[in-house]
Each structure stands twice: as structure tokens, then as C-alpha cells.
Amino acid sequence: MGGLSFRSFTFMFIVAFLVWSSSNVEICHARRGNHWRQQTRTSSASLYKKKGKNHGGNNHHKSGSKPKPKYSSPPPSTPTNPPSKGYDNVPSTNIFDVRNFGATGDGKTDDTKAFQAAWAAACKVEASTMIVPSQHVFLVGPISFSGPYCQHNIVFQLDGTIIAPVDAKSWGSGLMQWLEFTKLVGITIKGNGVVDGRGAVWWQDTPYADPLDDELKLIIPLNKTILRHPPTPLNSSLSGKMPSIKPTALRFYGSFNVTVTGITIQNSQQCHLKFDNCIGVAVYNFTASSPGDSPNTDGIHLQNSKDVLIRSSNIACGDDCVSIQTGCTNVYVHNINCGPGHGISIGGLGKDNTKACVSNITVKDVVMQNTMNGVRIKTWQGGSGSVQGVFFSNIQVNEVQLPIVIDQFYCDKSKCKNQTAAVALSGINYEGIRGTYTVKPVHLACSDSMPCQDVTLTNIQLKPIQEHYHMYDPFCWQTFGELYTPTQPPIECLQVGKPSSNKIQADHDQC
């Protein structure tokens, strides 16, 4: 009996040990398995949602770098979903909502410091997303979202509205830009939000201080008075209030791989969107919207930038829809609706005897409605350098005053002195420019000392519409090239071939 009891006790001990071991193994496996990981993520997400706005990003990134993932890749049993639009698929630790940094979004409280704090946190995390949420209006003063020590591939998700201050004290003696992104790599601004410069106070304040577009000299009303934009009526309560220097609404400087998509910039104080010293720029599904008489409100301004794509956008402004300045190469613009505005322009180049270099520019599939110019190249006397390899194709103009313009005597002041030096123009191609004009179909005014070469015109079909201006025949001066098809109206002033005594560019003219 005693032996039986000992064996029974031993057997029961072994069974109990096995049961205990099995439960421990299951606990370990559960901690390593998918269920535990998913549970942790769910808890983390709920914690993020519960955080108050004073805790938004302060606890995420004390080290200043992206935390290492626990697993390099999900196990085969874990389903992987395609990336979702917006920021739903971004890990919560990479999201920085400006409201969690103190922004109120009521359109009255100054949220500049909150935006600065949100950016400071997002800047430390690669592929982070800074959120400006919808259904909120954020009053933000001049601000710079700066590198170069920020991590790469930051997304600025703009779904709400950002408005500019309209009191002079926010601007001091004047600033060149309002919202600026500098020295960043892989910066994206996207969403369906709005940047509103509230520029009327600036336009009303200094209507006479802005340079006039020199092509106005070509547009003479039927009553023979010199046409000038009527000054915007001054509001006495605003007169003398704002600085004379007007800021660009949104500027990128010294950045690589920049994308702007989906957003609207409206009522800009001056330029809407500017890229300076950038490489790899993509702008698409973008809208710029300001009145046609708002002074110097270019839609998109490019300078010293290369590898640029601008497409599928609507631009209405008071100056050039797209302005391409010196230092730009490999620029491709297509599928743009332009108007009101001054058309799409290269220049002005060579101002104050400077050297300008522009090459490999393509503008195609553009519709222009009630603009001053269609496609234009403008340079100042006394400049040097060159414009080479320009292709304007499939441009529809509707009631455009001057559809095709080359002006090497550009001057936005009351008077400019005559100078012999000029920016050299060659390889300028116009193909499929058609529609209606109200002043002059073609104006090609080139330098005496540096005539335009290799200017080709193909399938030009322009019909006049008499409005309130004198109408003129095509004009050419020192312009050499080829007509590959008959044009309407005939452009007989173009000189076929090359100039007989072509000036060879000096070393300082070469680009």
C-alpha cells in the first residue's frame, strides 16, 4: 500500500510539472506572436488619441532619431495592406499634429509658436508627418521650416487653412517670404488645404511702388491713351500701414526632391509659390488664385533650379502664371490652365548687366484665357549669357493680347538706357500656337548686336478679336529662323536662315 502511494505521488508530481511547463511555454509564445504585437500597437494608438495637446510630440523622440523597429519585416501570416492616402498609414509615433503643440486653429489666435514646435519635433524623425488638420483656420506669422539637420522625407500634410497676419507689426520692416522651407531633402507639401496670404492689404497699400510689366507699352487703347493698370483704390485706414517689401507666400530654398500637390495658395502678398536653388521639383494638382489686377503675384516662380516638373494645375494671378528665371534647366511644364495673368514667361534676364543662363525648357498643352501674354521670353539690354533649347507646343490662347513674344528690350522702369550687350537667344521653337488675340499675334524684338537665331514657327493659327485696343500685324526685328508651315496671319517679317555677320559669343557670354 505504501509503495502504491509513493508511485501515485510520483505520477501526480510529473503530471503537475508538465501542466506547469506547458502553460509557461504558451505564455512565452504569446509574447512573441502576432497577437501580442497587435495588442501593443492598439494600446499605443489609443494612448496617442488620449494625449492632450500639451503632450503631442514631447514624449516621442527624446533621442532625436527614429526608433528601430522591433521586427525587420512582418511574418508571412501578417496581412500587409496597401498604403492609404493621407496619413492614416503613418505610425502614430511619426505624426505631429499642430494642435498637440498648442495650436488653436480659431483663425484669431497666433499659432506661429505651435507650428514651430511641431516642426522641431517632426524635423527629428525620418518620414514624419506634420499635420495641419481640416476644418481649422490657423493664423501663422512669418516662419522658416529649416534644415539642413532635419531628417529626410518629411510630409507637411495641409488639410486646413493657414492665413497670414495683416498687421504691420508682424512683418517688421518687411520680409522676402512668409512661409519658407529651406535646405531639406525629400520635403512634400500635400493635402487639400489652403494658404491664404490675405494680400489685399498689401495691394491697396502700395499700388504705385510696384514695377509695371513692360509689355504694356505694346497695348494701346483705341482712345490712344497709354494703358496702365488702374491703381487699386486706397483704403485710407490701410494707407501707409504695411511694409513696402512684399513677401512670397510659400518659398523653397536650397532643397532636393521637393513635391507640392493638392494645395491652394490664394491672395498671395506677392509671388504665390517660389523655388530657388532647388533640384528635383514636382508640382501637380496645384491651384494659385489671386485677382488679375493684384500686382506682381506670380503663380510659380523658378530661379536657379533644375529638373522641374509642373503639371495639371490651375493658375490665376496678376503676373506670370509661371516665371522661369536665370539658372533654370530641364524644366517641363504641361497641362496648365493660365488666366488671368501675364502668361508663361522666361525672364526677365540680364538685369543690371548680369549673366543669365537658361536651357532645355518645354512648355506644352497649355490653355490661356484672357491673359496679357501667351508664351514670352524677355531680357534686359546689357546682360550676357544665353537661352537655348526652348520648346513651346500646343498652346491654346483665348482672347490673349500678345500670344507670342520675344522682347530683348525689356524695361520695367520709366526709362532704360540703350546698351549693346545682350543675352543670346537660340533654338526657340513654337509649334501649334492657336486661338484668338486682341492686340498683336507675334512680337519678336531681338538685339541688334546679338540677333535671335534658330527661331522656328510651325502651325501658328491666330485669329484677331477686336476689343478695346489697337490691333497690329506681326512684328519682327533681328529675328532669324524658319517657317515650317504657312501661318495665320502670315509672319513675313521673320528672316530665313542665319544672320550674315553673327557675333561670336565671348567667354563671359558662355554658359
Any idea which residues carry the catalytic annotation? Answer: 319, 342
Cell matching residue 121: 519635433
Structural element, H or E, at residue 373: strand 373-379
**DSSP 8-state symbol, 52:** -
CA-to-CA distance for 290 and 68, rounded, in angstroms? 46
Burial class (CB in 10 A: 0-12, 13-18, 19+), 85: exposed
Question: Strand locations in 298-342, DSSP E?
Answer: 300-303, 306-316, 322-324, 329-338
Could you give phi then psi for residue 332, rounded to 5 degrees?
Answer: -125, 115
Q: HSE of 504 in the Cβ direction (CA atoms, 13 Å)?
A: 1
Q: Are 307 and 283 in contact (CB under 8 A)?
A: no
Task: Tell me the one-letter amino acid at 169.
Answer: K
Q: Is 284 helix (H, G, I), strand (E, B) or coil?
A: strand
DSSP 66-86: PPPPSSSS--TTS--PPPPST
Could you give phi then psi for residue 43, rounded to 5 degrees?
Answer: -65, -40
Question: Which residue from 200, 289, 192 is spatially nearest to 241, judged by alpha carbons?
Answer: 200
Task: Tell me the one-letter amino acid at 405.
Answer: V
Nearest-Å Rg of the Cα atoms of the chain is 31
Question: Strand locations in 216-293, DSSP E?
Answer: 248-253, 256-261, 264-266, 273-276, 279-284, 287-289
CA-to-CA distance for 141 and 125, rounded, in angstroms? 25
CA-to-CA distance for 337 and 398, rounded, in angstroms? 11
CA-to-CA distance for 384 and 350, rounded, in angstroms? 6
CA-to-CA distance for 39 and 363, rounded, in angstroms? 53
Please give the C-alpha separations between residue 507 and each of 219, 328, 355, 382, 384, in angstroms, as whole numbers: 38, 20, 12, 16, 10
Q: Are 260 and 273 in contact (CB under 8 A)?
A: yes
Question: Which residue from 319, 274, 300, 280 is spatially nearest to 180, judged by alpha carbons?
Answer: 274
Please give the C-alpha separations between residue 355 and each of 52, 299, 308, 510, in angstroms, as whole numbers: 55, 24, 21, 9
Please give the C-alpha separations between residue 456 and each of 37, 88, 220, 391, in angstroms, as whole numbers: 66, 51, 28, 10
| Alpha helix positions (H), 123-164 | none
